[in-house]
A and B are shown apart, each in its own frame.
Chain A
Amino acid sequence: DGGITQSPKYLFRKEGQNVTLSCEQNLNHDAMYWYRQDPGQGLRLIYYSQIVNDFQKGDIAEGYSVSREKKESFPLTVTSAQKNPTAFYLCASIQATEAFFGQGTRLTVV
């Protein structure tokens, strides 16, 4: 089945650690996006990439980094510089007028 796969579903991070969230798609879409979701805040755009080896900052990129070495993969690293990383993270790919979302990763700082 075609779709977006995010892993892991749950992730725990200690203070000062970097963690990487995986996002893979087999839809052959060029554009991929990372959103952060907090209660009552909706979805806020962290980074997006419209083509391999290129990506752009979204509205809340500070403390995050991404790479786009392959069309099907767009991993997100939450660095120690992100002061409040506990949130639900959603990856999406967008083609024409439709976005396809993964099932999300819930990151908790312990």
Chain B
Amino acid sequence: AQSVTQLGSHVSVSEGALVLLRCNYSSSVPPYLFWYVQYPNQGLQLLLKYTSAATLVKGINGFEAEFKKSETSFHLTKPSAHMSDAAEYFCAVSLSGGSNYKLTFGKGTLLTVNP
């Protein structure tokens, strides 16, 4: 079985400050890990993904995440927050290999950026 825990349902930062959104996973086999962003009343957009290549993954809009197997973590960071980063962020896990790429999502973290 696979699961994802996002620590903090709401994170608030000032514009220009570091963004850190936390994600821990549980998986019985090596996982694929994803971060998605969702703006109000829209679908999900892929920010970045880890698929067993480099452990430091760079994504769109200046975000990056580091896969740490020993900590079962895949935290999302951005050095300097922008007002346009305000959205809800979801971490997701999928089992590697096979043909069933069912995604399991965390409950989401709402990011607020203050001017």
Contacts and interface: CB of A to CB of B under 8 A. Distances in A.
Contacts of A88: 41
B87 interface: no
B101 A96 contact: yes
A88 B90 CA distance: 15
Interface string B27-66: 0000010101000011111100101000000000000000
Interface in A28-46: 31, 33, 35, 40-45
A94 B101 contact: yes
Interface residues of B, number: 24
Contacts of A94: 101, 103
Interface in B84-107: 90, 94, 99-107
A67 B43 CA distance: 22
A76 B115 CA distance: 41
Interface majority SS (helix, strand, loop, mixed), chain B: loop
Given A43-B105, A45-B102, A103 B42 contact: yes
A19 B32 CA distance: 35
B44 A101 contact: yes
Interface of A: 4, 6, 31, 33, 35, 40-45, 48, 50, 58, 88, 90, 92, 94, 96-99, 101-104, 106
Interface of B: 9, 32, 34, 36, 41-46, 49, 51, 90, 94, 99-108
